[in-house]
Amino acid sequence: MHFSRNLLSEKRSCLVPLMVLFFIATICMAFSREGNDDFNFAKREVLLRRIGHELLLQSGDSTSRVLPIKKIAENEYQISFEKEFTFQPDFLVKITKRLLIKDEFTSDYVVNVLNCNNSSVVYGYAISKDKKEDIISCIGRKQPKGCYTISVKFKPNGIYTAKNGYLLGGLLILVIVGVVFMKVKPKKALSKEYSKIFTFGSVLFDAQKRQLVINNDTIDLTATETRVLLIFASSPNETIERSRLQKEIWEDEGVIVGRSLDMFISKLRKKLELDPTINIVVIRGKGYKLEVS
C-alpha cells in the first residue's frame, strides 16, 4: 500500500521538472525561430527587390535603381522605383510566381500596381497555393510609362504564424503531458499482503481475487473495498485510526473524502454479516476496529 502511494508520489514529483523542461524547450524554440525570422524577412526583401530589378530590365531600363523595400503593414511590402517605367502584366505575373516560390513562408499573396500620383490601382492579381483560385486578368496589355509602386500583400500564415505555432504547440504539449500525468494513475504493484489469503472466524479473504468466502458463499469485493479490508485484516482486533484509513485509501486519488470511508465501511459490514462473530466497530474519537470473536 505504501509502495503504491510512494510510486504515485514519485511520478508526480517528476511531473514538475518534466513540465519545466518542456517549457524551457518551447521558449528556446520560439527564440530560435525568432532568429530565423530575421533571416527570412531579409530573404523576402531580396526576392522583392529582384522582382523590381527584372521588371525594369524588361522595360529596357538597366541603369535606374529599385528603391529600398518598405514594409507598410504586418504582411504587406512596397516596391518603389527611382524613375518611371512601363511593364507587361503577364511578365509581372510570371516573375512574381517564379521568385516568390522560393519564399518558404509564402502561400497566397495579392499584388497591386499603384499610380504614384493618386495611389489608384493600375493593375492587380491574386496568386494562391491552389492554382485554381488564382485571380489574373487583363494580361497582354502593355501599361503606359509612368510612376508606379508595387504592393505585395501576403496571406498571414507566414513567418509570425509559424513562430506562434511552435510556441502554442509546445504549450499544448505541456498541457497534454500535465493532464496525462494527473489523470492516468500508475498501475498499482501488488504488495505481499495482496498475495495472501486471510482467515478470521469463518471468513476467508482472498485479496488478490477480491473475494470473501463465508460458509461456502462467495462474495465479490470492489477494488476500494479490498484495500480497506486489507488494512483491517492485517491488524485484526486493533484500532485503525480514521486518518490512516483516509490517507492510505484516498490519498492516491488526490482527494480525501470522509463520507466515502463511512460508505465503504458500511458496505463491508453488510458483506461480513453472514458471520456474526466478525464486525467492524467504531472506536469513538479514534477510528475503527475489525473485531474477531
DSSP string over 118-183? T--EEEEEEE-SSGGG-B---TT-PEEEE-EEEEEEE-S-SHHHHHHHHHHHHHHHHHHHHHHHHH
7 belongs to a structural domain = no
Alpha carbons 59 and 67: distance in angstroms, whole number: 17
Q: Are 251 and 265 in contact (CB under 8 A)?
A: no
19 belongs to a structural domain = no
User: Of the given ranges (104-113, 127-136, 184-193, 196-205), which has the lowest mean pLDDT?
Assistant: 184-193
174 belongs to a structural domain = no
Q: Is the pLDDT of residue 20 over 70?
A: no
- Over range 125-137, report the average pLDDT: 83
User: Of the given ranges (85-94, 148-157, 253-262), which has the lowest mean pLDDT?
Assistant: 253-262
- 206 and 89 in one domain? no
178 belongs to a structural domain = no
pLDDT at 65: 93
Q: Which grid coordinates belong to 283?
A: 472506536
Q: Pick the residue with more confidence: 18 or 150?
A: 150
- How many domains does the structure of the chain reveal? 2
- Over range 188-193, report the average pLDDT: 51
Alpha carbons 71 and 167: distance in angstroms, whole number: 25
3 belongs to a structural domain = no
259 belongs to a structural domain = yes
CB-CB neighbours of 277 under 10 Å: 12
Q: Is the pLDDT of residue 207 over 50?
A: yes
Q: What are phi and psi of 129, to 5 degrees?
A: -60, -35
- 196 and 153 in one domain? no
Report which DSSP code applies to 210.
T
Residue numbers of the domain that contains 225: 192-292
Q: Pick the residue with more confidence: 232 or 105?
A: 232
Listed residue (48, 47, 51, 53) closest to 66, CA to CA: 53
Q: pTM score > 0.95 for this model?
A: no
- 255 and 134 in one domain? no
- 152 and 81 in one domain? yes
Q: Pick the residue with more confidence: 176 or 225?
A: 225
Residues paired with residue 114 on neighbouring β-strands, in sequence order: 121, 149
156 belongs to a structural domain = yes
Percent of the chain with pLDDT over 90: 25
